[in-house]
């Protein structure tokens, strides 16, 4: 990695790490955001249910035919508050700048209407920009949203810094797994139940990796200077 790229990576990494160390409350909210896609697959043949072991007869795992019908793709936009243990998954048909802007409006006006500022940690996609707000809404609304939104971008190849990525991984493993859904609505309802349960239990994240830790443990990523 060239020194210029190292410097860019380090600058963005330390910005994210410093952001995580700031004090937040109900007026200054920290949200991590990430995206993923999930295919909607419908069984062609009815799966055979699992059977428990009976005496000397062995049990049987659920059997699913490898053939399926593709019913579309669902775009999942994860908004995650690691401090309060809150999350919301926006389930959409696409991941355009309009989709992102509409989800940001929901975040600011519905999820956190009383927050003065929301710091949003996300990756640097072209859709993740203030310009998307002005592309989607009139200038008055876009400006009102912009004044309350502070974007902090993770570096390229540094998605591990985004706590929403970890929450998306849990969604994939604990909620969706290998389940096949008949419809997009069935998937959305399944996700809604999962997030409601985790929100009720306030499942958050205790981030302990600091800027000082990075300067020691990730020293090789920093540009080298002659002394």
- At residue 179, the pLDDT reads 82
Whether 15 maps to a domain, the answer reads no
Instruction: Tell which wins on pLDDT, 48 or 123.
Output: 123
- The region, left, alpha or beta by phi > 0 then psi within -120 to 50, assigned to residue 225 is beta
Q: Does pTM surpass 0.75?
A: yes
> In total, how many domains does the chain have?
1
Whether 57 maps to a domain, the answer reads no
pLDDT of 178 over the 90 cut: no
- At residue 1, the pLDDT reads 66
- At residue 151, the pLDDT reads 98
pLDDT tens for 184-223 read 999 999 999 999 999 999 999 999 999 999 999 999 999 8
> Which residue range forms the structural domain that includes residue 144?
27-44+65-201
Look up the CATH number of the domain holding residue 196: 3.30.420.10
Whether 131 maps to a domain, the answer reads yes
Query: Could you tell me how far CA 115 lies from the centroid of its own chain?
Result: 20
Whether 144 maps to a domain, the answer reads yes
- At residue 47, the pLDDT reads 53
Whether 213 maps to a domain, the answer reads no
Whether 3 maps to a domain, the answer reads no
Whether 137 maps to a domain, the answer reads yes
Whether 53 maps to a domain, the answer reads no
The model's confidence at residue 54, banded by pLDDT at 50, 70 and 90, is confident
Query: Could you tell me how far CA 148 lies from the centroid of its own chain?
Result: 20
- At residue 161, the pLDDT reads 96
Opening angle at CA 194, ends 189 and 197, nearest 5: 125
What is the C-alpha to C-alpha distance for residues 61 and 109, in angstroms, rounded to an integer? 46
For the chain, give the percent of residues with pLDDT over 90: 74
Find the largest Cα–Cα distance for the chain: 75
Neighbours of 25 (CB within 10 A): 9
């Amino acid at each position: 990695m060239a020194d210029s790229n190292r410097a860019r990576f380090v600058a963005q990494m330390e910005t994210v790490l410093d952001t995580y160390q700031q004090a937040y409350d109900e007026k200054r909210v920290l949200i991590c955001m990430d995206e993923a896609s999930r295919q909607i697959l419908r069984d062609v043949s009815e799966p055979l249910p699992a059977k428990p072991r009976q005496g000397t007869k062995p049990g049987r795992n659920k059997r699913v035919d490898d053939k399926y019908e593709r019913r579309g793709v669902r775009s999942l936009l994860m908004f995650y508050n690691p401090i309060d243990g809150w999350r919301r998954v926006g389930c959409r048909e696409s991941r355009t700048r309009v989709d992102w802007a509409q989800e940001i409006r929901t975040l600011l006006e519905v999820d956190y209407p009383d927050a003065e500022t929301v710091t949003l940690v996300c990756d640097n996609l072209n859709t993740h920009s203030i310009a998307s707000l002005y592309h989607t809404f009139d200038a008055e609304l876009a400006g009102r949203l912009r004044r309350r939104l502070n974007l902090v971008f993770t570096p390229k190849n540094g998605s591990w810094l985004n706590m929403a990525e970890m929450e998306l991984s849990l969604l994939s493993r604990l909620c969706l797994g290998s389940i096949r859904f008949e419809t997009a609505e069935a998937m959305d309802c399944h996700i809604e139940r999962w997030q409601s349960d985790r929100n009720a239990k306030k499942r958050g994240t205790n981030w302990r990796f600091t800027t000082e830790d990075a300067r020691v443990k990730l020293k090789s990523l920093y540009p080298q200077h002659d002394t």
